A and B are shown apart, each in its own frame.
Chain A
C-alpha cells in the first residue's frame, strides 16, 4: 500500500519568513496530492492540492511542487503570518477516489510574531 513520509515534524519561523514542508510517497499510481491545515480541535481543511499532470500550483501565498520521478512533493508558504500556525498534513491518493488518502504524520508550524 501507499506510504507517505513528511518532514519536518515541527517548524518554527519568524513572521514574514517562508516555510517549506516536504513529503515523499511510495505508490507510483498515486496521482492526487492534497495538503490540509488542521487547527486545534478541528477537522483537516484542504488548503491546496496538485494533480500529477502538473509540476507546480500556486494560490496567493501558498504553492505546491511535485516531482513525480522522485516521488516528492512540497508545500511552500511565503510571507508567513501568525494565523498560519497550525498542523499541516500532506496526503496522497488517486484521482478516481480522492477522498481515500494516505496521510503523512503532520508538521506543526509555529509562526512567531
Chain B
C-alpha cells in the first residue's frame, strides 16, 4: 500500500466551472477526512466520513461543496460554480478509525480558479 492517493495533483479551472477531486485512502481505513489549505495557513477541516456515512461537516463547507464516499472506500469532493476564493490545496487524510490512531495525509490537489 502506497498511502493516501489523491487525483488530480493539480487542477486549473475557469470561474463558474464545476470540479471533482478523488481520494483513495489507505486500504481498510474506515475514516476519511477532507481539509482545505490556503497559502501560509494550516489545513482547515472540511468534513469526514466513517465508512460511507458523512458524520460531520464544517461551516466552511458551503452548499457549493459536496463530498461522497459511496462504498466506504474512495471519496470524491465536488465544487460547483467555482469562485476565485476556492483556490487552495485540498487535502485528504485517512485513519483506521479506532481510538489512539493517527491520520495519514495524501499529497493534496492544488486547485487554481482563474
Q: Which A residues form the contact surface with B (CB < 8 A)?
A: 4, 6, 34, 36, 41-46, 49, 51, 89, 91, 95-106
Which interface class (under 10, 10 to 19, 20 to 34, 35 or more) fits B?
20 to 34
Expressed in whole angstroms, the Cα–Cα distance for A106 and B108 within the complex equals: 17
Point out the residue from A45, A95, A97, A100 that lies within 8 Å of B105, measured CB to CB.
A45
Residues of B near A36 (CB, < 8 A) are 105
Point out the residue from B42, B94, B104 that lies within 8 Å of A105, measured CB to CB.
B42
A95, B56: Cβ atoms closer than 8 Å: no
- Cβ-Cβ contact count across A and B, 8 Å cutoff: 66
Q: Is the interface of A mostly helix, strand, loop or mixed?
A: strand
Residues of B near A101 (CB, < 8 A) are 43, 45, 103
With A45-B105, A89-B43 as contacts: A99 and B48 at CB distance below 8 Å: yes
With A49-B102, A99-B93, A100-B33 as contacts: A43 and B107 at CB distance below 8 Å: yes
Residues of A near B45 (CB, < 8 A) are 100-102
